[in-house]
Structure 1
Amino acid sequence: MPKTVLMILLMYLVLLDISLQDNGEKSNEEYQNITSIRPRSFNGRRMATKIIPPEIKIMMETDSFSFSPTPSLELDPLANDTASYFTGVLSTRVIPAIYIVAIIIGIPSNTIVLVALSSKTKAFSAAILYFSLALSDLLFLLTLTLRVFYHFNGNHWVFGEAACRVVTACFYGNVYCSINTLMCISIKRYLATVHPFTYKSLPKHSCTLWSSLMVWFLFFTAMVPELLITQSYHLPQLGITSCHDVLPLNDKSFSFLPYYKLTLICMGFFVPFIVTVISHVSIIYQLNKAYDDWMYFIKMSTLVFIIFTVCFMPSNVIHFIHYVKLYTSTEEHFYVYYSVAMCLCGFHSCLDPFLFSFMSRSTGSKLYFITFKGKT
């Protein structure tokens, strides 16, 4: 009887050892799959979850500025350029300094435009589009204030995950909202210049109001994915918490990002840009056939279009190339170029009030039908 019990015990220990070995091999395979994740911008890997002592967990919940409860990502050891970007002068001094200039100029000027147009939106249809543009630019510049603190703080995000999601959504959403509002303004000018009789018969106030609301609705909807995914990750190698700059792309919850971002770039910039080009060329062609001298207006309109192209095209083209490179050859250095090009978007947001002030003055009484008056 004792021998039988001993044999049963030995068989149980052998089976238990085999089971533990199988589970260990399965855990190692799962960990290798997790650590091979490529990010959305820079190369990073998820770190194994560590058990947090209860007393530290309580402090993390009560003081989010001292302890970061965010998940951790490990940078690729070979990604020296990534670490140099996070700790270098470019991202911690140059970029935020440019943003500060845009903020100082743009916030007061766009606020003045909003106050000036608030009493004209009911009377003049074009004022609705300019009001929408100024509001979008103002929200973008307000978002930059937190981004400036983030960069000056060594690219260390201290405001929590919820704030990171909101700031990221506003940062991208307001850029594309401004671009599409400018497209609507171009279409309005095109109709007023090339098809004046059709333009006169349209319910202009209703058309501009609904087009503005549609732009805001579409890009609020388009930013929902940015609000649903985790945006901030702790980088132990650098001792910082990034906001949106490093994301684990190959994670299942991030698998939709490539298609989402490429579609957003195409619909948010390339389509409006093509429409704006066609509208601008058609307007110039039509005015050149007129008997009146429209040269000054053509020059000012061309200047506005050139600034629009210079400020928005580099960032969106580089952003598109960055995603193509990231998913075909895992090259990530284009993200640095994109971060620099985004500074031009800030300049456009602070220049809009002055550009359209010049446009309204250059038109004179003959072109009131494509400015604030909305008449033919």
Structure 2
Amino acid sequence: MNVCLSNSSSVGGCSEDSFKYFVYSATYLLLFPIALICNGGALVVFILQRSRRSSASCVVMTNLALSDFSFSLTLPLRLHYYFNGRVWNFSDWLCRLYVFCFYVNLYTSILFLTLLSVLRWLAVTRPLRHRALATPTKALLVCLGVWLLVGVASAPFLIQGRICRSGVYRCFDPPTSSLSQTVLIMNYVALLIGFLLPFLTIVLSYSRIVRHLTRRSSLHGAEGPSARLRQCNRRRSIHLVAMVMVTFVVCFLPYHVMRSVHLHATFAGWSCDFTAPLQKVVAVTLCMAASNSGINPVLYYYSTRRFRDNLREARTSLSGRRGSIATAISMNRRRNSPMSP
């Protein structure tokens, strides 16, 4: 039975807006197959090639793909919820877990992208230090620390589960009673540690990479085939840096800004004329943040030649295994045939 006694109202005392639920449904419906297939394929590539080509960047990208793949597995239940008229048919603990998983994916993705930028900065500007510090074992320990840190910091989201509103159970919809000063404090902690510090780290790392590459380009000139090849590689690296920066800004920056503004508006008791449009914008920026799980595979596909090589080798390996299995089956049939000698 999903009928309950209503004990909460909509956020800020305003009527519920169907726009955000339409945006959520459309975004998750499009994002689910993309994130599932791309990140699942990336995990397969990393796992098949880990024994032959293991590096610190590969370890970090594996964890990033694992985070995004895990998030994609939560989308079908979210879609069921929205297509079911926002009625939660499942248990309370599952609602808590799904809210928890969203924030774990959000901030592990940010921190893993930050770690990749630091590794790239070391590889370009401090190659000797990169060789000493960026080992697969150390990278794995740092990734485990990221999972632990984000998991512990997101634990408060396990406190609030499903709520009763309009006589039915809802999930992913915080009631007014849960909006306390603690929520505002959590928002600013997440804004500072989970976004601003990583963002500044990424900006600093990539700005030094670009400065280093452009300085070396001006010193060596562009004469001869090898010099032109180096200049082409540097130009490509700068383009990739710009792509990562734009992706980070588009996916994460709007959500954190608008979420903070919306929370302040809610606590300050602004009228619905202000909070209702803010709620629409927050819904759009939330979808932009979630879409990062489908964009990340594109980033590390085009950013590393090693991943493309691994993808080709994995495809060749799978083709070879299928060929070996087919040959073994054919030989077994011949061996068991009555006409065989």
Relative to the length of structure 2, the TM-score reads 0.77
Q: Distance in 1 between matches of 2:197 and 2:116?
A: 15
Q: Higher mean Cα deviation, 115-124 or 95-104?
A: 115-124
CA contact (8 A) 1:297 1:362 kept: no
Q: Secondary structure of the equivalent of 1:283? A: helix
Alpha-carbon spacing, 1:281–1:76, altered in 2? closer, same or farther (3 Å)? closer
Q: Decide which of 315, 318, 328 is 2:258's aligned counterpart.
A: 318
1:174: Cα distance to partner?
0.7
Q: Is it true that 1:307 corresponds to 2:236 in the alignment?
A: no
1:225: Cα distance to partner?
0.8
Q: Secondary structure of the equivalent of 1:244? A: coil
- The corresponding residue for 2:337 is none
Q: Decide which of 37, 57, 61 is 1:130's aligned counterpart.
A: 61
1:221: Cα distance to partner?
0.5
Amino acid at match of 2:262: H
Q: Distance in 1 between matches of 2:243 and 2:11?
A: 44
- The corresponding residue for 2:298 is 354
Q: Distance in 1 between matches of 2:298 and 2:10?
A: 43
Alpha-carbon spacing, 1:268–1:194, altered in 2? closer, same or farther (3 Å)? same
Q: Secondary structure of the equivalent of 2:169? A: strand
Amino acid at match of 1:258: L
Q: What does residue range 82-93 of structure 1 map to in structure 2 within 5 Å?
A: 82-83=15-16, 85=17, 88=18, 90-93=19-22
- The corresponding residue for 1:288 is 214
- The corresponding residue for 1:25 is none
After superposition, what is the alpha-carbon deviation per residue over 1:116-137, rounded to whole angstroms, capped at 9, x for unaligned?
Answer: 1014445222111000000111
Q: Is it true that 1:211 corresponds to 2:211 in the alignment?
A: no
Alpha-carbon spacing, 1:71–1:135, altered in 2? closer, same or farther (3 Å)? farther
Q: Distance in 1 between matches of 2:11 and 2:22?
A: 24
Q: What does residue range 57-206 of structure 1 map to in structure 2 within 5 Å?
A: 66-68=1-3, 72-75=7-10, 79=14, 82-83=15-16, 85=17, 88=18, 90-121=19-50, 123-202=54-133, 204-206=135-137
1:272: Cα distance to partner?
0.8
1:194: Cα distance to partner?
1.6
Q: Higher mean Cα deviation, 160-169 or 342-351?
A: 342-351
Q: Decide which of 194, 203, 211 is 1:268's aligned counterpart.
A: 194
After superposition, what is the alpha-carbon deviation per residue over 1:46-102, rounded to whole angstroms, capped at 9, x for unaligned?
Answer: xxxxxxxxxxxxxxxxxxxx23457621348962xx32x1xx2x2343321121111
CA contact (8 A) 1:296 1:362 kept: no
Q: Secondary structure of the equivalent of 1:158? A: coil
- The corresponding residue for 2:172 is 244
Q: Distance in 2 between matches of 1:203 and 1:246?
A: 42
Q: Distance in 1 between matches of 2:114 and 2:39?
A: 19
1:250: Cα distance to partner?
6.3
1:255: Cα distance to partner?
4.8
Q: Distance in 2 between matches of 1:340 and 1:137?
A: 19
Q: Secondary structure of the equivalent of 1:256? A: helix
CA contact (8 A) 1:262 1:323 kept: no
Q: Secondary structure of the equivalent of 2:2? A: coil
Q: Secondary structure of the equivalent of 2:160? A: coil
- The corresponding residue for 2:331 is none
Q: Distance in 2 between matches of 1:139 and 1:304?
A: 22
Q: Which runs of 5+ in 2 are unaligned?
A: 221-229, 310-341
Q: Higher relative contact order at CA 8 Å, sep ≥6: structure 1 or structure 2?
A: 2
Amino acid at match of 1:117: F
- The corresponding residue for 2:185 is 259
Q: Distance in 2 between matches of 1:76 and 1:247?
A: 6
Amino acid at match of 1:233: I
Amino acid at match of 1:95: Y
Relative to the length of structure 1, the TM-score reads 0.71
Alpha-carbon spacing, 1:70–1:170, altered in 2? closer, same or farther (3 Å)? farther
Q: Secondary structure of the equivalent of 2:86? A: coil
The two structures, once aligned, show a CA RMSD in angstroms of: 2.5
Q: Distance in 1 between matches of 2:285 and 2:253?
A: 9
Identity of aligned residues (%): 26
CA contact (8 A) 2:12 2:266 kept: no
Q: Secondary structure of the equivalent of 1:166? A: helix
